[in-house]
Chain A
Amino acid sequence: NAGVTQTPKFRVLKTGQSMTLLCAQDMNHEYMYWYRQDPGMGLRLIHYSVGEGTTAKGEVPDGYNVSRLKKQNFLLGLESAAPSQTSVYFCATDGLAGGQTGIINEQFFGPGTRLTVL
């Protein structure tokens, strides 16, 4: 099992460009999260989803959009990238195994995407 994967691993954008980060999981977890990690700021929650077709705002949602059309995928979009969005982005999942609903409060993280906006 691959667990949680993120695509791409690295990306450089120019200001104003758009892009989508893909998070995929094969753990059948209900909950998925997008974080950004910045030096001195720790991990900050951008958006999250408690199930297919649902999304919710986290601590720093401005400038980002998300979609959860399929249970296994959680997309993070930047419509018009800004230098302030230069960061490492992490996806995480949480949930019970075997397709059961619920949360276990142990998050499983992807390897991260390093994004630079020039």
Chain B
Amino acid sequence: AQRVTQPEKLLSVFKGAPVELKCNYSYSGSPELFWYVQYSRQRLQLLLRHISRESIKGFTADLNKGETSFHLKKPFAQEEDSAMYYCALLNQAGTALIFGKGTTLSVSS
């Protein structure tokens, strides 16, 4: 079965603290994974994808096949990082994304 699990509905941290948003997946073969973000009153947008191995807005995510995880990390959270974050998995057919239930990140000063 293809599935994405985001175990935390809400993650609250203080400004400057490290952030880790958890994502676990179930997939046969080599997965393609993504993080999407939805800031308040903005459209959902791609944050990063694992094949690019990039860092966007200070966020990184490493694919760990052994733990079937793709956690999103940032060493020092900023208030503007407050948003809803979705982890997504490309389906086996390569035609659609399977989204997790999302985690709301709240960063306060």
Contacts and interface: CB of A to CB of B under 8 A. Distances in A.
B90 A31 contact: no
A109 B44 contact: yes
B43 A103 contact: no
A113 B81 CA distance: 25
A89 B95 CA distance: 20
Contact of B100 (A35, A42, A58, A111): A42
A74 interface: no
A2 to B, nearest CB: 12
B43 A110 contact: yes
A105 B90 contact: yes
A100 B69 CA distance: 33
Interface residues of B, number: 21
Nearest to A38: B101
B94 A42 contact: no
B32 interface: yes
A109 B43 contact: yes
B102 A43 contact: yes
Nearest to B42: A111
Contacts of B32: 105
B86 interface: yes
Interface of A: 31, 33, 35, 40-45, 48, 50, 56, 58-59, 90, 92, 103, 105-112
23 contacts: A31-B95, A33-B96, A42-B99, A42-B102, A43-B86, A43-B99, A43-B102, A45-B97, A45-B98, A48-B95, A48-B96, A50-B95, A56-B95, A90-B44, A103-B95, A105-B32, A105-B34, A105-B97, A106-B46, A106-B49, A107-B97, A110-B43, A111-B43
